[in-house]
Amino acid sequence: MYEFKYHRPATVRQAANLLVKNEDAKVIAGGHTLVPVMKQRLASPPHLVDLSHIDGLDGIEMKGRSLVIGATARHAAVATSAVVGEAIPALAELAGMIGDPAVRHKGTIGGSLANNDPTADYPAAVLALGATIVTNKRRLKAEEFFQGLFTTALESDEIITKVMFPVPKKAAYIKFRNQASRYALVGVFVAKRPSDVRVAVTGAGSDGVFRAESFEEALKKRFSHKVLDGVSVPAEGLNSDLHGSAEYRAHLIGVLTRRAVEAATAK
């Protein structure tokens, strides 16, 4: 790991000022993506700004019809939160499937979203549920936030403060893990919302998380796995590697979407 200076701001404003002052600074919270990347010397930020000691940034609460999760809420906190379990049980289940217990004690929702790893779980939930990402500067809709592999709409001095999830009627997340890394080879989050149905896919797209529109169209007519018979997603644009071909991933998206719809209906 290369040298860096460590900063521990007490407020979001202080953190933002540090980012403005130090152009190549990186934000850290749980550090469970950034520290490994720094150890591999794939990143060498001269300044680290640690958000994990900012009071009130890890809250979990209902505000009207929305579930609001603070940026530094740990995966373990989301997985075991009674508020999340009541409002969007699929989201609690998803958080409980990330990494392993020790990783879930450190990793944060804001960190996962800001990193936008193409195999991360949270982006699928955020996109399928139509969540809003709130930063120190503005509010971003999920579809404008994610901009491809490890890329988001965040500016260099912008900090995620919370994520607002509108509560769906039904939802479920199904993940097919890579047997070695345990990351999602494909993960599908299905949400039946008051106005529409969304199917978001992680792990498979060569450009990161995306919506499976052919499935959404079919499910909008009737929310049942039966309407998916004969409907598929194209293999074009999907990852192809030693773990699975693009065709295999396309097939998995269909299988997992059916299972997710069944799981959501059973809840």
Q: How many residues contact another protein, by CB under 8 A? A: 27
**Should residue 43 be labelled a site residue for another protein when binding is judged by CB under 8 A?**
no
Of the residues 10, 11, 24, 39, which one makes contact with another protein according to CB under 8 A: 39
Of the residues 14, 17, 52, 66, which one makes contact with another protein according to CB under 8 A: 52
**Should residue 101 be labelled a site residue for another protein when binding is judged by CB under 8 A?**
yes
Q: In three state form, how does the secondary structure of the chain look?
A: CCCCEEECCCCHHHHHHHHHHCCCCEEECCCCCHHHHHHCCCCCCCEEEECCCCCCCCCEEEECCEEEEECCCEHHHHHHCHHHHHHCHHHHHHHHCCCCHHHHCCCEHHHHHHHCCCCCCHHHHHHHHCCEEEECCCEEEHHHHECCCCCECCCCCCCEEEEEEECCCEEEEEEEECCCCCCEEEEEEEEECCCCEEEEEECCECCCCEECHHHHHHHHHCCCHHHHCCCCCCCCCECCECCECHHHHHHHHHHHHHHHHHHHHHC
Q: Based on CB atoms, which residue is closest to another protein, 122 or 215?
A: 122
Give me the 236-255 binding string for another protein, x by CB under 8 A, dash otherwise: --------------------
**Should residue 103 be labelled a site residue for another protein when binding is judged by CB under 8 A?**
yes
Of the residues 55, 100, 229, 236, which one makes contact with another protein according to CB under 8 A: 100
Distance CA 175, CA 260 (A): 9
163 Cβ contact partners less than 8 Å away, ≥ 6 residues apart: 68, 69, 71, 109, 110, 113, 126, 131, 132, 133, 134
Q: Based on CB atoms, which residue is closest to another protein, 43 or 153?
A: 43
Q: Based on CB atoms, which residue is closest to another protein, 52 or 245?
A: 52
Region near another protein per CB under 8 A, out of 46-54, 119-127, 147-155, 250-258: 46-54
Q: Based on CB atoms, which residue is closest to another protein, 101 or 237?
A: 101
Q: Within positions 160 to 199, which residues make up the interface with another protein, using CB under 8 A?
A: 182
Region near another protein per CB under 8 A, out of 2-10, 63-71, 166-174, 187-195: 2-10
Q: What is the smallest separation between the CB atom of 110 and another protein, expressed in angstroms?
A: 16
Q: Within positions 7 to 36, which residues make up the interface with another protein, using CB under 8 A?
A: 8, 28, 31-32, 35-36
Q: Which residues bind another protein (CB under 8 A)?
A: 1-6, 8, 28, 31-32, 35-36, 38-39, 48, 50, 52-53, 76, 99-103, 105-106, 182
